[in-house]
Amino acid sequence: MSYSIDIYRGHARPAKSLVDYACYVSLFPQLVAGPIVRYHEVDAQLRERAHTWAKAGAGIVLFVLGLAKKVLLADSVAPMADWGFAQPAIGLAGAWSSLLAYTLQIYFDFSGYSDMAVGLGLMIGFKFPQNFNSPYKSASISEFWTRWHISLSAWLRDNLYIPLGGNRKGPVRTYVNLFLTMLLGGLWHGASWTFMLWGAYHGSLLALERMNGRRGLVHGLPRPLQIALTFLLVMFGWLLFRAKNLAEFARMLRGLLGGNGWGSAYPLADAGWLNWGGMLFCLVLVFAARNTWEIRWQPSRRLAVGLALLFLVCVATFLVNTSSPFLYFQF
């Protein structure tokens, strides 16, 4: 689809041969879940690219860190999310902690996969675009969508929002276009009412922020408070995204609003404290640490040993524990 669009719009030259075209279509690192690599972004690289030790080293770093995000972080909080969404009548404490766990799980799961894909690409000479840029540090929903799944946001903008008219046909049409773009973006994830409502929810928030002069709905507050409130808005959206159906959504929403009382949170017994510890560590990384693209790693023997040990820990954890598939494999 990207190949046809880019050739039609003149953004790239047609592939020289069927082999070049097949190479793009089957570019395995990002094939399953992203980042979405459009043909014009790799056209020149398919024709000629450089293989260097610097690229390979950077690729190994990104791959191992992405694997650690998935196996050591996302999978550590996954049981808390699954536990909460499986409860028939969950209390306030369990609902909020489980939703928070899923909010962290989907970020570390998907950004981990993206880092691994980019790392694999570097190992074979390709430079893929960044797909995540600390999205939970956003102070508005508009900013969130410039940081979360960046390649999807760009795809929706270029292939849905702009063709619909973008912001060229007046403010009302702009709001409608934003809403429709996100609505279709929700349906892109699956034919489900919850995905459609998730898209409609984000489309409505983006339209409201555009009405507010491209400022966040909580503009004017101190930035840390803006970030916290935006994070809560994003969390509510993930409730729609995670719920299998509207009944499950309603059940969790009742718990979030205290309809079942305080209740109990995820148990500490049977190594549950490790899951709680993993969630706290994830929160620290999300709000206080730089992301993997912001860190400049200098090649050294110490770094090589550290990466090797981290890789072995990931493999051992993967073999000992029951690891869940990458979340975005299902979309």
Q: Which residues carry out catalysis?
A: 189
Which tokens hold the place of 41?
Answer: 């972004």
Tokens of residue 294, six digits: 């912001």
Please say whether the beta carbons of 240 and 215 come within 8 A.
no
CA-wise closest residue to 182 among 196, 171, 172, 163 = 196
- 213-249: b or e for each residue (b if 16 or more CB lie within 10 Å)? eeebbbeeeeeeebbebbbebbbebbbbbbbeeeeeb
Cis peptide before 14 (omega within 30 of 0): no
Please name the residue that has the structure tokens 């409860």: 87
d(CA 3, CA 15): 9
- Mutual angle of helices 92-123 and 53-68, in 10-degree steps: 160
Q: CA 191 to CA 236: how far, in whole Å?
A: 20
Contact 328, 109 (CB under 8 A): yes
